Structure 1
């Protein structure tokens, strides 16, 4: 009891002295220096806890950052895809709008492959007889006539480009109405008009449009624009060189046109006789065929021979 009372009295005396004087400051400093290791040890659990919280937060932030990076890359990929789709949509709109005025029946087709043979310029399309495609069908892009179908299979078809040397298309000069034949030069870039009279009314930069002669191509579609006229004095004919309006070997989508005035060729013929060539002469382009013969009842036979029993 006495010890406790003595300690209480001593504590009160120390407090009074500490409040009124600075005599105990050296003692306080010594005690604090001696107790600092104990204080440091006592604070370590809290520091350790905060350190692990920081590590956990850092890991969460890193995960969130990586997630944002992945999301950013996915969004960039979508943006690029959207840009590609927008470009494709513009091309498709241009293709479809190219037939708005003429109100022609058309089918969009994708170009699967382009022939690399300079002597045989063809496109492979992802449409075939299953989609109603027929041999001789006109193929265009957003700018003009590309060619025509020469082979048809069930789900694919082959189109011969107008620049192929085996291709010919009846055209007319848009300015004057002069009609002639444009054939491919085989260089993949130009067409030739070799059947022009020496006094033909044709000029450089004249637009050539498709003609309905022969009933294969619908009329009025841009084909080419005259680049050069070649005429030797004294010759009866002159030649015109024209550049196609269509983007030959540059189109990803094309249009297949139905010509109501044309009789579709047999697709079986297209697959069994792939060497059949398109229009490439004035006779093929529009020369009238001889009228079929008639039997006694006035009915025409298929080959012009009189109907009756075969011998």
Structure 2
């Protein structure tokens, strides 16, 4: 018991067992891969035996969704160009895009008190701790541990996760905290008079430097204002499909520092020459 406590303290405070943990993860990766073979084969057989009618229906649905997304992408491209022009006028840095990497879920954490998953990309693919993870709909969580071939992702609904967000309608900033339930986020720091209502969309604010700004997070589903209490009870439902998504996106934010024209650079002022004093100063 004393040895276990000592190892936990060394791991938590000084990170002395990080190398050992990464080595053990590499050694156990083949066992994990073999354990996933039956489920992967079952999924492959199901997809192979799928009827032609279902495939045609799915293909038609994907074509319609692709057409809608391409139409929305045209509007986003115009808005992004306008945003960059406005930022350039203000002399501030502007975002030119985000680099992403597609990964797949390889395991679920069996701890009932933690909500985290394991993905099949690690440090060999450039994944790093604190990296933002999304699915096709919204933010899922962030990377908390990285090994050479896998990484652990802490979901936004975990009780130890807090995410800076803002209300898209009015820009109100707050913190979304995990509740331990897969379909529930809490906003515990909003006063009773805060301008927030049901169906408001929450997006990442970009504060803290972990998540790029502007990505959807959740939608408000409950607002209770109780007299006599300083804060309202606000509940939001995550937009990401945390309990059924298999493919995720790892995001790198790319920014460019502001470029100022040469004429805006303040002129260099030459120092004023001081008269020579031939007399020695007293110590």
TM-score range, shorter chain: 0.5 to 0.7
Q: Which string of whole-angstrom CA distances, capped at 9 and with x for unpartnered residues, describes residues 212-262 of structure 1?
A: 00111011111000010122102221121000000012101000011236x
Q: Determine whether 1:111 maps to 2:105.
A: yes
From 139, 143, 148, the counterpart of 1:154: 148
From 171, 188, 213, the counterpart of 1:177: 171
Q: How far 1:79 moved relative to its partner?
A: 5.8
Runs of 4+ residues deviating >6 angstroms: 81-84
Alpha-carbon RMSD across the aligned residues, in angstroms, is: 3.0
Q: How far 1:77 moved relative to its partner?
A: 7.4
Q: Could you list the runs of 5+ residues in structure 1 that have no partner in the other structure?
A: 1-75, 262-311
Q: Is the partner of 1:130 in helix, strand or coil?
A: helix
Q: What is residue 184 of structure 2 aligned with on the other side?
A: 190
TM-score, scaled relative to structure 1: 0.53
Kept in 2, the 8 Å contact 1:114–1:249? The answer is no
231-240 or 124-133, which moves further after superposition? Answer: 231-240
The number of residue pairs the alignment matches comes to 182
Q: Is the partner of 1:111 in helix, strand or coil?
A: strand
Equivalent residue runs for 1:55-74 within 5 Å: none
Q: What is residue 138 of structure 1 aligned with on the other side?
A: 132
Q: Alpha carbons of 1:164 and 1:77: their partners in 2 closer, same or farther (altered >3 Å)?
A: closer
Q: Flag the structure with larger Rg.
A: 1
Q: Which string of whole-angstrom CA distances, capped at 9 and with x for unpartnered residues, describes residues 103-162 of structure 1?
A: 421100000011233310001000111011111111110110000000011110000000
Q: How far 1:80 moved relative to its partner?
A: 3.0
Q: What is residue 164 of structure 1 aligned with on the other side?
A: 158
Q: Is the partner of 2:232 in helix, strand or coil?
A: strand
Aligned equivalents of 2:127, 2:163: Cα separation in 1: 19
Q: Which string of whole-angstrom CA distances, capped at 9 and with x for unpartnered residues, describes residues 23-53 of structure 1?
A: xxxxxxxxxxxxxxxxxxxxxxxxxxxxxxx
TM-score, scaled relative to structure 2: 0.58
Q: Which string of whole-angstrom CA distances, capped at 9 and with x for unpartnered residues, describes residues 57-83 of structure 1?
A: xxxxxxxxxxxxxxxxxxx97463997
